[in-house]
Amino acid sequence: MALDTWPKEAHTLPLGVERDPQGNLTFSGVSLKELAQTYGTPLYVLSADVARARAQAILQAFHRVLGPRVYVSYAMKALYIPAFLSALKDLPLQFDAASYGEVVAAQKAGIPPSRLRLHGNNKTDRELELAAQGAVGEVIIDNLDELERWLRLPRRGSLRFSLRVAPGISPHTHEYIATGGRGGKFGVDLESGEAFLALREAEKGGLPIQGLHAHLGSQIQEAEVYAEALHRLLDLRAAFFEVTGRWLAEVNVGGGAAVRYDREKELSPAAWAESLAHALSRRPRGEPRPVLGIEPGRAIAAPAGLTLYRVGDSHRVEGFAPVVAVDGGMGDNIRPALYGAVYGAARVEGGGEGEEGPVHVVGRYCESGDILLRGAVLPPLKRGDLLAVFLTGAYTHPMAMAYNGIPRPAAVLLEKGRHSLVWERETEQDLFRFHRLAPWQEGP
């Protein structure tokens, strides 16, 4: 299967998706009809082949442009199913965890602590203690309160630390996924001098920070904002050197490169890397270059997944687009309701009668906002048809919920023409495995 990891034109089938001679969709060489028959629907379908191709494209672009002093860390919050992580572990990647739960996912995938980096704006005391005991190789300190907590811990071992900085850059993206501006939830403020003071406080307390970190947001289409973020972080690094005589070893500009769900502009890894190279070229001669880091999550996971649905009931009102319901919805993909996210989709079966036209594809949940696709141009859909929604590998399974008492879907992993269940479908009984009646409610 030839993999063009960054398609040049919109409105083409995504990476790894093709039609067989009968016109039916396949993904990573596997029939989607066969998967639906074997595992049921809704179904998360994940491709190890596509995930690795995307990760390798990022690694190659950054090493080609920036040389060997760069690392790529996969942001597990995008998708942390252990089998998916295991498909990536043989690549030269590090792995970012947003909680100890994601650390456990990495452990189950066989990823050693030395390759794990713990993020989080409000880490629990238990997470700090486990990190101090060697659960991860590096911690990204998010704020001054967390720094004070680390300074009070008696044992830190060989644990490495970076400081998350809010560089005061707000990229053009949805407000819920913009994270680099001032006065927000994440990071120590740069402009006020708080970040510099945090570095000095850590140094005085015997906790030498080794790197600086920033994350600007998600679905960023402009490479220039990464260059500006790097430039500001390097200015902070230089100011710290002037006072201490020590150069911080690493600077990480985070992730968030845009992928093309439907009509968006996708930020290629080459453009991303070249923006950082440009920022480095603006630095004073003689300033030692740090190791550079990036943290792609969506850019790797999103194209590596699609979701299969079975079409159910539908209705039509004259003058309006048809409304077609599927057997999933906001419970397995909250992003359209939460962010207004737009996805591409296609009917799995080839052939059929009728012309393409706009249709609203809605879910089965008791919310008016449970609309997966608004005005999507699709062929006529009837009860029993299969619908594939593309690029759902990121931020769907991790954000899934059991609203209305509807169990969460299964997930299957594809690799080199093979397929296997890697996340079991929930049942209604599973939803109540933590249920308890109060003692006075129990019968005799």
Using 50 as the pLDDT threshold, list the residues of the chain that sit under it: 1-11, 172-177, 179-180, 182
Give the pLDDT score at 184.
Answer: 67
Which entry of 317, 366, 437, 438 is annotated as an active-site residue? 366
What is the predicted pLDDT for the residue at 13? 86
- Give the per-residue pLDDT at 170: 73
Q: What is the pLDDT of residue 437?
A: 93
Instruction: Name residue, tokens 């990022």.
Output: 58
State the Cα–Cα distance between residues 130 and 103, nearest whole angstrom.
10
How much is the pLDDT for 354?
A: 76
Query: Residue 306's closest CA among 422, 399, 391?
Result: 391
> Residue 374's closest CA among 392, 360, 388, 356?
360
Say which amino acid occupies 238: A
Q: Which two tokens stand for residue 344?
A: 């591409």
Task: List the chain domain ranges.
Answer: 17-47+303-431, 119-296
pLDDT of the residue at 80? 99
pLDDT of amino acid 443: 76
What is the spatial distance between Cα 10 and Cα 283, in angstroms, rounded to a whole number?
37
Write the DSSP symbol of residue 192.
Answer: T
Token digits of residue 290? 């740090």
Provide the 8-state DSSP code for 77.
G
The predicted-structure confidence for 55-75, as pLDDT tens digits, reads as follows: 999 999 999 999 999 999 999
Say if strands 25-27 and 30-31 run parallel, antiparallel, or are unpaired.
antiparallel
For every residue of 121-188, DSSP letters joined together read SS--HHHHHHHHTTS-SEEEE-SHHHHHHHHH-S--TT-EEEEEEE-S---SS-GGGB-SSTTSSSSE
The answer to whether residue 366 is catalytic is yes
Topology of the domain covering 17-47+303-431: Lyase, Ornithine Decarboxylase; Chain A, domain 1 (2.40.37)
Provide the CATH number for the domain formed by 119-296 in this structure.
3.20.20.10
Cα dihedral sign for 264, 269, 273, 274? negative
> Strand pairing partners for 212?
163, 251
Structure confidence at residue 183 (pLDDT): 56
